[in-house]
Structures are given as C-alpha cells and as structure tokens.
Amino acid sequence: MDGIGIVGAGVAGLHLGLLLRRHEVPVTIYSDRTAEQLSGGRLPNTVAHHHVTVERERRLGVDHWDIGEYGYFGHHHYIGGPSPLRFPGFFAAPSRALDYRIYLPRLLEDFLSRGGGFEVRPVQPADVVTLSERHDLVVIASGRGSMGTVFPRRADRSPYDTPQRRLCAGLYEGVAPTDPKGVTMSISPGHGELLEIPMYSFAGHVTALLFEAVPGGDLEELADADHDEDPAAFHKLVLGKVEQHHPTVFERIEPGRFRLTSPQDLLQGSVVPTEREDYIRLPNGRYTVAVGDVHTVVDPVVGQGANCASYSAWELGQTILADQNFDERFCRKVARRRQDRVQSTSDWTNLMIRTPPPQHLLELLGAMSEHQAVADEFTDNFSYPERQWDVLATPERTRNHLARHGIGG
C-alpha cells in the first residue's frame, strides 16, 4: 500500500500533505487542476488566515509572507440603523489574507520539493474505492462537483437548505486602507454584510470587497451584475451600494480610481451552509475520511472556512501519525478530536446569518461598542470558534459573559 492519498489540493489537502511529509509519511495528492491552472484562474475566494492558522504555517515551514508586511491587526465594525454603531476590536496576534492563486501553488511547490506525489486527474465518487486499494488511507479534501455527494449530509447539523446570503467578491483598487490596518465588518440590517479585507494579490496590496447579500434585499443585485458586459455600469453600481449601505468604507474610496484590479478578480455565487458525516465505510470494507469543505461548508460571514479546514487537516494528520490502524475506531478518534471547533464554527456562523439576528447577539454587539475589552475578546475569538460559541450558544451564556465584564445584571 502506498501511504496516504489525498483528493484535493486546497488548503486542507496541502496542509495535511505537508504535515505528513515532515514526518516522512508517503503522500500523493490528486487534483483536477495543475499549478498553472490554480494560479491562472478566476478569483477563488477572499479568505483570511487567523493567527492560529499562520502559526500552523510556521510549523509546517511555509510561512513565506512576513506578517509585518502582509498582516492586519483587527476588525473595524460598523452596524447601520437609526443609531449606527462604529467601533474597533483587536487581535492578540495578526491575521493575514493572501490571494489563493499565489498561496496554493507556492505550497504545492513546497510539497513537491519535500517528496510529495502529485497527480493531475479528475477523481469521481466511483474512483474512491479504487484509490482506497492503492493507499493505506484515502482522505477526501475537495467538495468540488460530485465529490460533495460522497459523505451524507447531516440534517441535524444543517439547518438551511437554501443559501442565506448571495455573494459578490472582488479585488479593487482605489480604496485606502484602514488605520490601523484591519478588516472592516459592516452590517446593513436586512440587506447584508460587507467584509473589506486587505489582501495581497498579483497587483500587490489590494482591497477585497466581499458583499454578502440577504436574498430579497437591496444588495442582492450585486450577485447577478455582469461586469464584462459593462464595466463602468458595474463599478457605478458597486460604488452606489457601498455609499448607501457601508459608509465607513465609502469614505475611504477614491471614486475616480475605483475599479476591479482585473476582470478575473471577481467571484459571484452563493453557498448553502452544510455539515456532512466525518467518514464513510466503503463497499470493500475500508474507510475514507472527509476534511475541509466536503465535511463542513460555512457561510463566509465570519471568515472561518479556510481556518476550519486547516485546523481539521492538522488534527487528522496528528491522528494519522499516532495511529496507523485506519479502521472505524481511527475514524471516530478523528471525529472526536476536531468536533468541538468544527461544530462551534458551524453553529456560530449559522447564528450570525440568522435574519433577523437573535436578541442576545444584538446585546453582545451593543456591549462591544461601549467596552473595548469585550470587543477585543470577540475579535480574538475568530482564532478560537469554540470560545466564541461558549459565549453565544445561548442567551444565558451571553449574559453571563457580559456580567463577568461588569455589564448588565
């Protein structure tokens, strides 16, 4: 048998492969795209890596982007309404946002230089059994196309069956950064959110604008607007929506310079938040394990998808290093090991996209606007979703949390 087979060359697959190669475990990654295709395609996402993920990158030996130059230091919140709220929250250590068309090919290069195997070929669900007979364990780290059907959906953990936000993400020039450098999290009640992210891409340091539109709200037309048909009309539409709904971002835009950095730097669509089973037993009696978005799809509103995938891959890798009996007991160990953070990420995300928002979330946001320590704790918990869910899981937990800060009661 030939070590570990990983289907998917995203952050989960590469972090897992790199971890295993550091310990001389044979690994082959299967991808339907070459490194050149990864770097040359349309913008795949606008993800940020929080400092626990950056620390994993350091431990993997792939921390190629100095945090002093490429990092950012917190969140700038704006909550619209009759009495708008505006306040910052700061991390204990910086986060970082890189264009995955730069990031993934570089990590693939590292993986290959360390003796990893890489095969460019499409893998369909019907191929998994064959791969399982080639490898000691097959890990599915891609939910692209039909691979999302390999693991059954968990209805008890997936409260939505339709998208709760429609997305329009792009990289722009003509937007001055915040001071201090950070992500703006702007909320337009009833219409959606805008995440403004300082990102490094092919054009250098640019601004990512990720609109998350409530279906039926005023921002939804951004998800359908056709940039290529009329770039000027597209930019005018985006600028108008920012001015109307997200004033703290608009005040830093130079309208005459505001445009996409490239027609390729635009992504529109939607996701349905979903959890699937951790593993399945194949017809030949072997097991395969899910990691990354094939296991858990979260809405990007709290920016956890890549961080959750990296964490999950790391915990899977540690279990592989400790136990090479790839039976159901092994699979259960993996599930238990990553359960709290992965499920907390999902629960927290699903709470944040609820419309209208629950009262205890509003109470927490109000307290954050008046108490810097509360805002900083909420912000730093983006690295620790289980801690965030400890605060937000019930109204009683939120109020007890605020009481510990001397608020309410």
Which tens digits make up the pLDDT trace of 187-200? 999 999 999 999 99
Provide the CA 399 distance to its chain's centre, in angstroms: 28
Q: 4-20: per-residue pLDDT in tens?
A: 999 999 999 999 999 99
Please give the pLDDT value at position 2: 87
Question: What's the rounded mean pLDDT across residues 34-58?
Answer: 97
**Cα separation, 130 vs 142, whole angstroms:** 17
CATH 3.30.9.40 segments of the chain: 166-270
H or E element: which one contains 88? strand 85-96
> Distances from the Cα of 213 to the Cαs of 273, 296, 298, 346, 397, in angstroms?
15, 21, 15, 19, 29
Phi-psi region of 299 (alpha: psi -120 to 50; beta: other; left: phi over 0): beta
If you classify domain 4-48+99-160+273-352 with CATH, what class do you get?
alpha beta
pLDDT at 18: 99
pLDDT for 398 beyond 90? yes
Q: What is the dihedral of CA 350, 351, 352, 353, to 10 degrees?
A: 50
139 pLDDT band (50/70/90 cuts)? very high
**In the CATH scheme, what is the code of domain 166-270?**
3.30.9.40
Residue among 223, 350, 354, 358 at smallest CA distance from 299: 350
Among 202, 209, 29, 11, smallest CA distance to 102 is for: 202
User: pLDDT tier at 1 (50, 70, 90 boundaries)?
Assistant: low
How far is it, in rounded angstroms, from Cα 363 to Cα 68?
Answer: 34
Strands 183-188 and 4-7: unpaired
What are 278's two structure tokens? 């951790």
Report pLDDT digits (tens) over 73-129: 999 999 999 999 999 999 999 999 999 999 999 999 999 999 999 999 999 999 999
In the chain, ranges of CATH 3.50.50.60 domains: 4-48+99-160+273-352
Question: Which tens digit of pLDDT belongs to each residue from 230-267?
Answer: 999 999 999 999 999 999 999 999 999 999 999 999 99
pLDDT at 408: 85
Rounded mean pLDDT, 271-287: 97
The stretch 356-373 carries a mean pLDDT of 98
